[in-house]
Structure 1
Amino acid sequence: MAQQMTVTVTGASGRTGTLIVQKLLAQPESFTVRGLVRSEEGVKKLEAEGVPSSQLFAGDILEGTGALKKSLQGADAMIIATSAIPEIRPLSLVRVFWKKLLRLEGARPDFKFKKDQYPEQVDWLGQKAQIDAAKEAGVKRVVLISSMGGSDENNPLNRLGGGKVLVWKRVAEEYLIDSKSFTYTILHPGGLIDDEGGKRELVLGLDDQLLKLEKRSIPRADVAELAVQALSTPQAEYRSVDAISKEPGDGQPTIDFASLYGGLKGNCKYGPGSVKAAVSGK
């Protein structure tokens, strides 16, 4: 019997993080689950999911609380599910309404990020803090959930709220790889949808080639499954891959994750200095 693995999930009360926690809890013989959240509300949410209060830690990783370090003490693995989340500027919806009414082009809302929740702070500095703390704690396995589109610095997502979200995610990915301290898996899911998981054939790819397809979304539940499966799948070790799903009924639902990870050769490329150059020119 395989030894039980203690897994710390960061961003554990988010939509994807909660699904990861649920999947780990469903395998008590394989995993002990810990959750790191930002607030007591997150603690209550995960307690309702069945996570013991002793395994829950609340605190902002950028405020220097001890929550992050405590959550990683004795952990074997960490799944990073933290991410900056843009919000729509309400007044911009008025402009969108009138442009649509007048059938004008460019009818899109504006976005913003909360104070201290910009991508540079959450997706770079926050993830760097997590990686550093995991290294200090002796964690051996890290799964990082990022986003597809990072190979193109001109991707429209980088303009949301002026946050360069994909750029900062990419910097964190490179930091994880360059640390040479972990067995890692980096996942770049396509557009996240809230459909039921386990009903679709999953497709992996490299370097944003899947963005050329008409359909390039994936249920959050399937991203959670990819992350959990990566913890015990040798073919997922030292991998950086993109992930989408086919439409229901197109192909067979994926159940063999060793073949899924092993069937794709190579890893997403990280251009020499390209992302770091973009950061320096922020």
Structure 2
Amino acid sequence: MRTVIAGGHGQIALRLERLLAERGDRPAGIIRRAEQAADLVDAGAEPLLLDLEAAGAAELARLLTGADAVVFAAGAGPGSSAARKNTVDRDGAVLLADAAELAGVRRYLIVSSMGADAGAVYPADPVFETYLRAKGAADDAVRARTALDWTVLRPGALTDGPGTGLVRLAASVGRGRIPRADVADVLAALLHEPGTAGQTLELVSGDAAVAEAVAAAAGHV
């Protein structure tokens, strides 16, 4: 299975690439800077150099040729401007959806955020409000695509450090935290579970093994 990951040098993406390579899949990661390529190769992924903020859908679609799935794991990151929340977190996700449709790639996973909402109001932090709105708008745009078998994954507050392998995954799970490592593990499982297509799932740490949680979300348990 060939999976192309936008935001290929992010912490979640690098972990996901390594997981996919270890199970015999063929991951590829889209990166903005050539110096990031070595880290992807070390993770077992093919580096694909492209700036999502400057590329068009046809250009990106060429990189998706032969892919079975795409994952949007890109983000402007902490400390970035409100404008880049829109150009990366929102517009980048829409661009990947456009390109996937052009390339005939149906499976689309998007890493969103708990609380994402195109109409979010967070007056205490206008940049964070823009982030939630950008993520919400991206989710809405992806969910409107009938040509895509999409899954929207909305993790709680992200933490560093090792994963536990124990999660809570459902349409609504309540506030919580989740290691980035566990987010990657869930994404890897979702890629091979078509029964989760068409769902928006929240994710936090819990007491169910990843495989069990994903199977339950797909209706197999």
Q: Where has structure 1 moved over 4 Å in runs of 4 or more?
A: none
8 Å Cα contact 1:57/1:67 also seen in 2: no
Deviations 1:215-257 (A, max 9, x none): x0011111111111111113312110111003xxxx4544424
One of 70, 85, 91 as aligned partner of 1:78:
70
The aligned residue for residue 101 of structure 1 is: none
Structure 1 segments unaligned to the other structure (5+ residues): 88-111, 265-282
Give the SS at the match of 2:8: coil
The aligned residue for residue 81 of structure 2 is: 113
Deviations 1:55-77 (A, max 9, x none): 32112122127762332011110
The aligned residue for residue 108 of structure 2 is: 142
Q: CA–CA distance in 1 between the matches of 2:194 and 2:44?
A: 29
Q: How has the CA–CA distance of structure 1 residues 236 and 252 changed in structure 2, closer, same or farther, with 3 Å as cutoff?
A: closer
Q: How has the CA–CA distance of structure 1 residues 205 and 258 changed in structure 2, closer, same or farther, with 3 Å as cutoff?
A: closer
8 Å Cα contact 2:7/2:30 also seen in 1: yes
Q: CA–CA distance in 1 between the matches of 2:36 and 2:62?
A: 17
The aligned residue for residue 41 of structure 1 is: 35
CA shift for structure 1 position 84: 1.7
CA shift for structure 1 position 200: 4.3
Q: CA–CA distance in 2 between the matches of 1:12 and 1:156?
A: 32
The aligned residue for residue 3 of structure 2 is: 7
Structure 2 segments unaligned to the other structure (5+ residues): none
The aligned residue for residue 130 of structure 2 is: 164
The aligned residue for residue 233 of structure 1 is: 193
8 Å Cα contact 2:85/2:130 also seen in 1: yes
The aligned residue for residue 22 of structure 1 is: 18
8 Å Cα contact 1:83/1:122 also seen in 2: yes
CA shift for structure 1 position 204: 2.0
Q: CA–CA distance in 1 between the matches of 2:197 and 2:9?
A: 26
Give the structure-1-normalised TM-score.
Answer: 0.70
CA shift for structure 1 position 160: 5.0
Percent of paired sites with the same residue: 26
Give the structure-2-normalised TM-score.
Answer: 0.88
CA shift for structure 1 position 15: 0.8
Q: Matched residue pairs, number?
A: 219
8 Å Cα contact 1:57/1:68 also seen in 2: no
Identify the structure with the greater strand proportion.
2
Q: CA–CA distance in 2 between the matches of 1:48 and 1:235?
A: 32
One of 158, 163, 166 as aligned partner of 1:201:
166
Provide the aligned C-alpha RMSD in A. Answer: 2.5
CA shift for structure 1 position 181: 1.0
Aligned pair 1:68/2:60, yes or no?
yes
Q: CA–CA distance in 2 between the matches of 1:7 and 1:38?
A: 18
CA shift for structure 1 position 135: 0.6
The aligned residue for residue 132 of structure 1 is: 98
Q: CA–CA distance in 1 between the matches of 2:208 and 2:100?
A: 37
Q: Counterpart of 1:242 in structure 2: which amino acid? A: E
Aligned pair 1:153/2:153, yes or no?
no
One of 262, 269, 279 as aligned partner of 2:218:
262
The aligned residue for residue 181 of structure 2 is: 221
